Chains A and B, each alone.
Chain A
């Protein structure tokens, strides 16, 4: 009977678990890692980005997002939407073509791969015959023309990928129909470009690598015209009226050819080298668009003088007398121009440029061509992310103040709305306002609106102004001076170069009720900031915290302390620093916590921890935790490990660079790639040859970095006797020690004068000596204590102070509950002993039931070094659910994870992308969008000029998220150095790793 009842309870618990927990990877925020192709559908108003890992991402209006992943782990080299349809074709670098569609499925739709195809040549033909180099999605919507390296053009019927052999345009057919001096003796090389005549869809232009272009009539199957260019061809553009063809060449020139008329040979009207005189680089793409009155817009990518500006990544925009060379900070992948008007055939309105590290959109209709701020694809990594911090449920007041501070920073952006409008965002309004704060290597903290599907930039805080650095603050206003040639203009915000790595932000803590913020950095600096709506000029007072406390025999070998500006500094409206603590030695800050009610900040490094009173601006407590025999902790930022990683990274970069630098359609492309691959494999094999063995030895107090402070915690609890609760400070170290201090705060009326004191109350040495990663006090009901000020703002139930409190110490190996005030073990969960995984990240979250609104539980969200997520119940510390989330080799992904207070989380899947996941069954933020699909009745006669979709019937399709693809996505990413790092990480904290990584970048 008893057993029966227990069984009932278990199944009841299982049901509750299902109502509380559910795992989903919901959306990727940020910019895709290593984009490799760009596509745009004017009719759908969707842009598509393909990546080197085989992902394909579609974006429309804000919130409209789709993602797919090719099964092949191959780079996407081209993306083409089929005109006026919901299909798109991707070409991968394994020469396979893939057909994707946005398919409707009762009310919802998803991005689906519906077909794949690889050209097969005649038996015995060399592979170059079928290696696709150019794709034309014909405006009829059912033809695909594929130009190949061998110079042939294959015609394929889509969407089914049926080869129309009789319509293929072989090299022989072409050479036979052009005069012998062009076709016969010369090798035409590969098909570089395929263009359709904008006014006659039966004519296509075939541009060959060697320069010759041929206009082919699809009906008569013959060449009707040839254009005798002699320079290596880079790109071709057929003007709107069909009368001219523009060709751009590898020598930095472009030519205009008249193609109207009956003369079988076109005349060159104009040939120009825009940045001429000296040898120039190739113009890789050329676009010319007419305006209603006045001269056309001309867009040229590249073409810079090789010797002086060969390393710039430029797109030149020429309109009338205005000529600007937009200068990007990373390599240009591709660009397109959005046009006004119902059929998207009007004035050019925006230039959309995909560069390797960001998407830049230029407003072409506003004076000065300002940049339009992107609502998605934000370059999170414009300076490398060094840490992140999430704050849930921001009070409206603080939200608005942060927004208005941010608005003042964004005045240089265009006022125009985002030009991409495809689809409609149907996701419900987010239930609450959430902030994600990212710390960066350049000393900035960026505030992101993380409430919904779009991670939107709100505000940027820079801490560099407090310190004296080598950089000149006016340095970054490097606008081109008057009369400079070429007329450069810097655009984009990706700036991977940090002036001073010591500025890097390592820990952030924001109190959402008081608006107090504390940030800590690489050189042991801790800033306390408050939100001010007015600009203010003030001096920041620095207090030094000597963490060695007279311990002898140590000499810090790392970087020096940052120098503080002594003169008053003007801070713009927003968060303004008013107090500064500098740790000595200036080691990276490894733990940081703020208590806004007590006005205290506590911080820790590898040497000890301190407690700072930011009202009185003095140190209350400094405690050294350094093991006297631990010399490694004095080495500074882990110089040795860094150098290994650095050299590794460099060698990877070298390989990547050599891969990148391979010209797109170079003849021996394949050979070089193979060579590069072989080299990569050789290097990897070398790494594997190193004998991998692991020492089996219990942790020792003499291990390195045992004194590193991993976690700091404030609690109002029963520290020394069970009848009086007092404020307390808890610190946990890498060596499994916990230190507890009893704090005495003077009464409010003399808080400004009487000192705050701290007295050692307890020390716990965990026998297993694993690093302590979390400390938490549970109240009489077993619930975690509320945050400071939470109760004062009526946002949390006041903690139960009647029942006895308990202390939860979370080490990398165990969750252990102790009684308070007398510390004795009550319960534990031994994670590592059971499954060999260790706790990397832990958070406290509230899980609401998705069935009833009134039921919920607190739990611990845990990420292990194996990349698995667990939920651990409170106060019983029982494992509830387990989900695999991150690949275990993805060390930086695991280290970057942050949890929200409502069971969601973020982690970096690349330096530039956050994956958002949810462990909660109730709280899920995921995109739901609706895409307008144009009616599939493209005109056969006026393809480009048709005001598509404007007057015809429209169908509405719901969009649905393809999460399975997303799940596979990460497999393709971040598979380089992390594996190697795993071997070195055992004694390091994720923080060190994180820091390391960014130091190396």
Chain B
């Protein structure tokens, strides 16, 4: 099975509780790998913390060297890495659309579903400096103000305090208030994609095509409008996953008993066949769709999340559908 949803990504291995980074322009090295140039960098279960901030910091040649070295390093290491089946991994976050964004920007996707961790960051108002035809101009902006230790955002290492938030799920935040951006992020919190301009521009992913052309410090001239927003593929994928996410409103249907009932009793009307159909359909989908499987395993027992003050509903012959 090829989980097409995971175009690129940072993978989280539950067993070793370590974070793996993979920088890749579009496709996954594991599961596809047709694209020519890749930069793969893995932390295996036993490897040391790697100071990745040293990459791409100084000179262009240095960067090239680093890249080469890295690739060699990876090649050398590859036999030692045990990579499990995709379903053993759970996506936690990923950098997407690297190929279409300016190098100074980073589009980060946080996968929250199933995780116990809070998203774990705060945003604030601030001032950003933009290069305009009239020179430098101060404009209001939204910034990450705080990371919660142990939160999802911090654990990815992809977001940092004072990063400027440019987009939320493909929608620019320019002109929006802090409250609006907050509400947008919360509304998208199940599949949050934030485009940031990292405060620390030294860790930027440097693309092959631009290595000779631009420095990592280049700042965009017109806010975040100079490039296409979320690439169509990413958008579509995001939307799809969002869909499946949204479908997951929990519906508890109970058949009406003939009289006020405290205990199960044979329903007066036959159970609606469509109900059965749906639960059937649900399992069908699960078996077909690995993603769905992942989602459903993560979603444990929906009844836990639904506050049922008096647990009488199941007793009434409840059917739970997903």
Is B122 interfacial (CB 8 A cutoff)? yes
A699-758 residues with Cβ-Cβ distance < 8 A to B are 699, 701, 706-707, 719-721, 735, 737, 742, 757
* Also in contact, A698 and B190, with CB within 8 A (given A735-B307, A760-B313): yes
Is A765 interfacial (CB 8 A cutoff)? yes
Is B129 interfacial (CB 8 A cutoff)? no
A751-774 residues with Cβ-Cβ distance < 8 A to B are 757, 759-768, 770
In the complex, which of the residues B125, B171, B254 contacts A760, with contact meaning CB atoms closer than 8 Å? Answer: B254
* Also in contact, A838 and B310, with CB within 8 A (given A692-B124, A698-B190, A720-B269): no
> What mask results when residues 214 to 239 of chain B are scored 1 for a CB within 8 Å of chain A, else 0?
00000000000000000000000000
Is B280 interfacial (CB 8 A cutoff)? no
Q: Which A residues are CB-close (under 8 A) to B169?
A: 833
B257: nearest chain-A partner, CB-CB: A759
CA A694 – CA B182 in complex, angstroms?
7
Q: Which B residues are CB-close (under 8 A) to A761?
A: 253-254, 256
Is B305 interfacial (CB 8 A cutoff)? yes
| Pairwise interchain contact A832-B249, C-beta atoms closer than 8 A | no
| Pairwise interchain contact B119-A767, C-beta atoms closer than 8 A | no
> What mask results when residues 121 to 162 of chain B are scored 1 for a CB within 8 Å of chain A, else 0?
111110000000000000000000110000001000000000
| Pairwise interchain contact B189-A698, C-beta atoms closer than 8 A | yes
| Pairwise interchain contact B309-A737, C-beta atoms closer than 8 A | no
> What mask results when residues 763 to 806 of chain A are scored 1 for a CB within 8 Å of chain B, else 0?
11111101000000000000000000000000000000000000
| Pairwise interchain contact B145-A693, C-beta atoms closer than 8 A | yes
| Pairwise interchain contact A549-B255, C-beta atoms closer than 8 A | no
Q: Which A residues are CB-close (under 8 A) to B309?
A: 549, 551, 624-626, 628
| Pairwise interchain contact A767-B254, C-beta atoms closer than 8 A | no
Is B252 interfacial (CB 8 A cutoff)? yes
In the complex, which of the residues A701, A835, A982 contacts B305, with contact meaning CB atoms closer than 8 Å? Answer: A701
| Pairwise interchain contact B246-A828, C-beta atoms closer than 8 A | yes
Q: Which of B46-54, B195-203, B271-279 contacts A (4 or more CB under 8 A)?
A: B271-279
| Pairwise interchain contact A763-B123, C-beta atoms closer than 8 A | no
| Pairwise interchain contact A768-B146, C-beta atoms closer than 8 A | no
Q: Which of A98-106, A492-500, A818-826 contacts B (4 or more CB under 8 A)?
A: A818-826
| Pairwise interchain contact A721-B185, C-beta atoms closer than 8 A | no
| Pairwise interchain contact B184-A832, C-beta atoms closer than 8 A | yes
CA A550 – CA B140 in complex, angstroms?
52
Tell me the minimal C-beta distance from A719 to chain B in angstroms. 8
CA A823 – CA B189 in complex, angstroms?
24
| Pairwise interchain contact B183-A832, C-beta atoms closer than 8 A | yes
| Pairwise interchain contact B278-A699, C-beta atoms closer than 8 A | no
Q: Which B residues are CB-close (under 8 A) to A627?
A: 307
| Pairwise interchain contact A763-B306, C-beta atoms closer than 8 A | yes
Q: Which A residues are CB-close (under 8 A) to B248?
A: 767
B267: nearest chain-A partner, CB-CB: A720
* Also in contact, A698 and B112, with CB within 8 A (given A759-B260, A761-B254): yes
CA A768 – CA B249 in complex, angstroms?
8
Q: Which of B70-78, B99-107, B172-180 contacts A (4 or more CB under 8 A)?
A: B172-180
Q: Which B residues are CB-close (under 8 A) to A832?
A: 183-184, 186-187
| Pairwise interchain contact B251-A697, C-beta atoms closer than 8 A | no
Is B264 interfacial (CB 8 A cutoff)? no
In the complex, which of the residues A701, A720, A836, A838 contacts B307, with contact meaning CB atoms closer than 8 Å? Answer: A701
Q: Which A residues are CB-close (under 8 A) to B188?
A: 833
CA A837 – CA B182 in complex, angstroms?
10
Q: Which B residues are CB-close (under 8 A) to A735?
A: 307
| Pairwise interchain contact B186-A697, C-beta atoms closer than 8 A | yes
CA A770 – CA B310 in complex, angstroms?
22
Is B10 interfacial (CB 8 A cutoff)? no
B82-127 residues with Cβ-Cβ distance < 8 A to A are 112, 118-125
Is B167 interfacial (CB 8 A cutoff)? no
| Pairwise interchain contact B180-A837, C-beta atoms closer than 8 A | yes
Is A696 interfacial (CB 8 A cutoff)? yes
Main DSSP-derived SS at the B contact region: mixed
Tell me the minimal C-beta distance from A807 to chain B in angstroms. 11
> Which residue, of A768, A822, A833, A866, has the highest number of chain B Cβ atoms within 10 A?
A833
Is B26 interfacial (CB 8 A cutoff)? no
CA A695 – CA B123 in complex, angstroms?
7
Is B245 interfacial (CB 8 A cutoff)? yes
* Also in contact, A696 and B122, with CB within 8 A (given A549-B309, A766-B249): yes
> Which residue, of A701, A763, A830, has the highest number of chain B Cβ atoms within 10 A?
A763
> Which residue, of B184, B186, B312, has the highest number of chain A Cβ atoms within 10 A?
B186
Q: Which B residues are CB-close (under 8 A) to A699?
A: 186
Q: Which B residues are CB-close (under 8 A) to A823?
A: 251, 253
- Report the interface size for chain B: residues with CB under 8 A from the other chain: 62
Is A691 interfacial (CB 8 A cutoff)? yes
CA A824 – CA B246 in complex, angstroms?
11
> Which residue, of A627, A696, A838, has the highest number of chain B Cβ atoms within 10 A?
A696
| Pairwise interchain contact B123-A720, C-beta atoms closer than 8 A | no
In the complex, which of the residues B153, B183, B251, B308 contacts A838, with contact meaning CB atoms closer than 8 Å? Answer: B183
Is B250 interfacial (CB 8 A cutoff)? yes
Tell me the minimal C-beta distance from B274 to chain A in angstroms. 5
Q: Which B residues are CB-close (under 8 A) to A888?
A: 177
Tell me the minimal C-beta distance from B114 to chain A in angstroms. 12
CA A125 – CA B276 in complex, angstroms?
91
CA A392 – CA B77 in complex, angstroms?
76
| Pairwise interchain contact B250-A765, C-beta atoms closer than 8 A | yes
| Pairwise interchain contact B251-A767, C-beta atoms closer than 8 A | no
Is B42 interfacial (CB 8 A cutoff)? no
| Pairwise interchain contact B183-A837, C-beta atoms closer than 8 A | yes
| Pairwise interchain contact A549-B310, C-beta atoms closer than 8 A | yes
In the complex, which of the residues A759, A768, A982 contacts B187, with contact meaning CB atoms closer than 8 Å? Answer: A768
Q: Which A residues are CB-close (under 8 A) to B250?
A: 763-765, 767
* Also in contact, A763 and B313, with CB within 8 A (given A696-B123, A822-B275, A836-B184): yes
In the complex, which of the residues A549, A737, A760, A822 contacts B272, with contact meaning CB atoms closer than 8 Å? Answer: A822
Q: Which A residues are CB-close (under 8 A) to B176?
A: 835-836
Q: Which A residues are CB-close (under 8 A) to B257?
A: 759
Is B181 interfacial (CB 8 A cutoff)? yes
Q: Which A residues are CB-close (under 8 A) to B183?
A: 813, 832, 836-838, 865
CA A692 – CA B256 in complex, angstroms?
50
B306: nearest chain-A partner, CB-CB: A765
CA A701 – CA B303 in complex, angstroms?
12
CA A936 – CA B120 in complex, angstroms?
73
Is A834 interfacial (CB 8 A cutoff)? yes
Is B15 interfacial (CB 8 A cutoff)? no
Q: Which B residues are CB-close (under 8 A) to A721?
A: 269, 272
* Also in contact, A835 and B180, with CB within 8 A (given A721-B269, A735-B307): yes
Q: Which A residues are CB-close (under 8 A) to B178?
A: 692, 694
| Pairwise interchain contact A720-B272, C-beta atoms closer than 8 A | yes
> What mask results when residues 808 to 849 of chain A are scored 1 for a CB within 8 Å of chain B, else 0?
000001001000011111001010111111100000000000
> What mask results when residues 20 to 35 of chain B are scored 1 for a CB within 8 Å of chain A, else 0?
0000000000000000
Q: Which A residues are CB-close (under 8 A) to B301?
A: none
* Also in contact, A696 and B252, with CB within 8 A (given A735-B307, A825-B246): no
| Pairwise interchain contact B124-A737, C-beta atoms closer than 8 A | no
Q: Which B residues are CB-close (under 8 A) to A759?
A: 254, 256-257, 260
Is B164 interfacial (CB 8 A cutoff)? no
Q: Which A residues are CB-close (under 8 A) to B246?
A: 767-768, 825, 828
Q: Which A residues are CB-close (under 8 A) to B321?
A: 824
Q: Which B residues are CB-close (under 8 A) to A982?
A: 179
Closest 8 interchain pairs by CB? A836-B180, A832-B187, A698-B189, A694-B182, A765-B250, A836-B184, A763-B252, A833-B187
Sample 21 A-B pairs with CB under 8 A, ordered by A number.
Answer: A624-B310, A692-B178, A693-B122, A693-B124, A694-B124, A696-B186, A698-B119, A757-B260, A759-B256, A760-B254, A764-B249, A767-B249, A770-B187, A823-B251, A824-B321, A836-B176, A836-B179, A836-B181, A836-B182, A837-B183, A865-B183
Given contacts A767-B190, A824-B251, A825-B249, 20 further A-B contacts (CB under 8 A): A625-B307, A691-B145, A693-B123, A693-B146, A694-B123, A694-B179, A696-B121, A697-B119, A720-B272, A721-B269, A759-B256, A763-B308, A767-B245, A821-B272, A832-B183, A832-B186, A833-B184, A836-B182, A865-B183, A982-B179
